[in-house]
Amino acid sequence: GAASVARGAGTFGAAHLLSSVSEPGLEKTAEMAPDALRLYQLYVRGDDAFVADVVSRAEKNAYAAFCLTVDTAHYSRRERDIAKRYVRESRLRATGGDFQKGLEWRTVKMVKDKFKIPLILKGIATAEDALIAVDHGVEWIYVSNHGGRQLDHGRGAMHVLPEIVEAVKGRAKIMVDGGICRGTDIVKAIAAGADLVGIGRLQCWALAAAGEAGITRMLELLEDEVLRCLGLLGATSFAEVDKSCLHPATATNAPSVFSAFPLFDHEPYRY
């Protein structure tokens, strides 16, 4: 479904980040969505020669930036999947995951030395790593905790974002994702210092509901919510919002042992 998402985003005027585990793949998505602003995100499944080959292909196919995923050294214990007995097809076969485990800063240096395409690191969760990335010439710091599915009890992306913004001090652009489901969420992220905001689950729902047209419509709804939010804040553009607009709020619902399993009927247990 990646090509449909890329086309839908392109119709609206938003960028699309293509994951290397998405179909129909790097070349086919470029062929099917030639006018979209496309970025490419790699899960490393080979050595430096493998990475260099993928970067070269991304450049050849007019991707605007190249992204290395850096927060999947291990595949996390996803208890919701375990409870539902769901196993991704890619987990059933050897996929070269040891190369992701062995990913080092030298790979970042290799990409920067050999290629001109802007580089993004996705999965940055500390100010310290953000500074190392900037020192390596990385143009985009992508703040993410992989949808809260990787490091158990790790901090949320919006929680750590202000620290990373302060550390980077404008030396790189900053992206963020994680639970962005409303236009107001986008405004919060921009106000906290992000330059670009990513959405994941919404595109899946929109694609399932109405295909390519659903992607465009989903983005139109977000845009409408963004405009209403900005207007009610008394702002006419993102440039007029900053961290002074943000204040801490107590959680509406206290977390419980079943917070990660909202689809289960717990009283009584049913299987």
d(CA 75, CA 125): 17
CA distances to 53, 122, 157, 206 from 10, in Å = 26, 22, 26, 15
Query: Where residue 114 falls among pLDDT bands split at 50, 70, 90?
Result: very high
The mean pLDDT of the chain is: 92
Which is higher by pLDDT, 180 or 152?
180
| Residue 269 backbone phi and psi in degrees, to 5 | -65, 140
Q: Which CATH class is domain 2-245?
A: alpha beta
Would you state the pLDDT for residue 81? Answer: 83
Look up 16 and say whether it is catalytic: no
Task: Give residue-wise pLDDT tens across range 38-96.
Answer: 999 999 999 999 999 999 999 999 999 999 999 999 888 888 788 888 887 766 666 67
Please identify which of the residues 74, 146, 153, 159 carries the catalytic annotation. 146
Measured at the CA of 145, the angle between CA 139 and CA 146, to 5 degrees, comes to 95
Question: What's the whole-model pTM score?
Answer: 0.91
